[in-house]
Amino acid sequence: ETIAFLRGQTSQNAATQLGLEDGPSFRAATGLPDELKINRSYTDIVLRETRPEGTIFRIVDIKATRSSTPFHKAQVAFYALLLRGTLADLGIDATVDATGAVWHIREGTRLAEGLVEPAIFSLKPYIRLVEEFLKRDAPRIAKRKVIANLDETFFHIYFKCEQCDYLIHCRKAI
């Protein structure tokens, strides 16, 4: 279904939960070492628009917050890099929009009201941030030992950790 949507073989102009993987084009563009593997990632929404200059895909991430953060925008940029690689690997003549979007709860409303405030932003600085992380930091982090009774990774706990299955492990390690 993901490939059919990307190739324009569906009537929908939006898709949810597109499964994107780190194929050869993504790896080449980011310089990701062979020993590092990125798990399949799922976008919240990808919008497909046909313009005079061709097919353009915009990535939208949805957050249950009142404002978008740099971390949210970096996540969209990461998906944009994966989508660019997927399009190249599939030989699809299309581009990823230079802007991304984070939809969040409109200020002064409640989540149940479903009022969304779109935050549209330029992807370029966030793509640079993600590329730098993948080239410089990810290989260093991946070299840390994680075995029974030894975990050399850096830990931090913040509000989103309450949702994670590894919270107990992190608390013990800290």
**Per residue in 8-63, pLDDT tens?**
999 999 999 999 999 999 999 998 888 888 889 999 999 999 999 999 999 999 98
pLDDT (0 to 100) of residue 160: 64
Those residues with Cβ within 8 angstroms of residue 78's Cβ, 6 or more apart along the chain or in another chain: 41, 130
CA atoms within 13 Å, Cβ hemisphere of 112:
0
pLDDT (0 to 100) of residue 71: 87
Q: Give start and end residues of each alpha helix (H) in the chain.
A: 2-6, 24-30, 70-90, 124-132, 138-142, 167-173
pLDDT digits (tens, 9 = 90+) for 128-157: 999 999 988 888 888 877 777 777 776 666
pLDDT digits (tens, 9 = 90+) for 55-85: 999 999 998 888 888 889 999 999 999 999 9
Contact 61, 79 (CB under 8 A): yes
Q: Give start and end residues of each alpha helix (H) in 31-166.
A: 70-90, 124-132, 138-142
